[in-house]
Amino acid sequence: MTGQGSPAAPDAAGAVLAGRGAVVTGASRGIGLAIARALAAAGARVAMLARSADTLAQRAAELGGAALPVPCDVSDAAAVGRAIQVITLAFGSAPDILVSNAGIFHPQPLADITPDAFAAAIAVNLNAGFYLAHAVLGGMRARGRGHIVTIGSVADRVAYPGNGSYSPGKFGARALHDVLREELRGTGVRATLVSPGPTNTDIWGDLPGTGRFPSRDAMLDADAVADAVLYALTRAERVNVDELRLSAS
């Protein structure tokens, strides 16, 4: 694999993804950052996508040479196309792995959600997954190998009050995954949906207390979600993990 720099030398026993190139969105914090760290530790070269260039550069520097920061607004189809071109050039080939994780979660009663806020949430929670999959599928299918992982949510199958801009996007993302899974059968390209329950990340610090959500110490840890993603990615090539649903014990 060629490109800018070289991956940090992983522990040989853990280098199960050595030689693979991965794209992780929403990678500057929370679940996305945990996934990027896990994939880098497993030997992958990881392109980290997020909107905040400065924060993204700092987080990528922490991962060392295995990480490639690529500032990108994933709700912009043209920006996604440019980012995948940059990543393909840096990796020397099309990405092997896509983890579509970026999301917006601003719980409000439906009557309080503005049309612009609804459109912005759908653009990130649903449209971005299509833009990203569309941008990488050609290379994966031509190679006869690849893996698209969609990070869903318990809200991709259960409707909760206050989720009028979140659940529609997540339900749609689950449907997009289902279509991908059916279309990719027999191609060598795999598709997995990982749907965690409430997960302890910084996003909760931005939300007002409502009493509807569990306390943060009762939530899943972001590393648990990253472990689930790594599990799906490292199964035998003829094994597809269709869905993983995670909840705190």
Instruction: Cite the active site residues.
Output: 166
Residue ranges covered by each domain of the chain: 13-200+213-246
Q: Buried b vs exposed e over 93-103: b needs ≥16 C-beta within 10 Å?
A: ebbbbbbbbbb
> CATH for 13-200+213-246?
3.40.50.720
Residue-wise DSSP of 172-230:
HHHHHHHHHHHHHTTSSEEEEEEEESSEESGGGGGS---SSSPPGGGSEEHHHHHHHHH
Beta bridge partners of 148: 98, 191
Query: Could you report the per-residue pLDDT of 120-134, keeping only the tens digit for each?
Result: 999 999 999 999 999
Cα(44)–Cα(99) distance, integer angstroms: 13
Q: Convert the pLDDT of each residue in 195-219 to its tens digit.
A: 987 766 676 565 554 556 666 677 7
pLDDT of residue 6: 35
Q: Which two tokens stand for residue 226?
A: 């990253």
Q: What is the pLDDT along the chain (249 residues), one digit of tens a residue?
A: 333 333 333 444 468 999 999 999 999 999 999 999 999 999 999 999 999 999 999 999 999 999 999 999 999 999 999 999 999 999 999 999 999 999 988 888 999 999 999 999 999 999 999 999 999 999 999 999 999 999 998 888 888 888 889 899 999 999 999 999 999 999 999 999 999 877 666 765 655 545 566 666 777 788 899 999 999 999 999 999 999 998 788
| Alpha-carbon span 212 to 154, nearest angstrom | 14
Tell me what pLDDT residue 84 has: 98
pLDDT tens per residue across span 59-72: 999 999 999 999 99
Give the pTM.
Answer: 0.88
pLDDT given for residue 121 in this prediction: 95
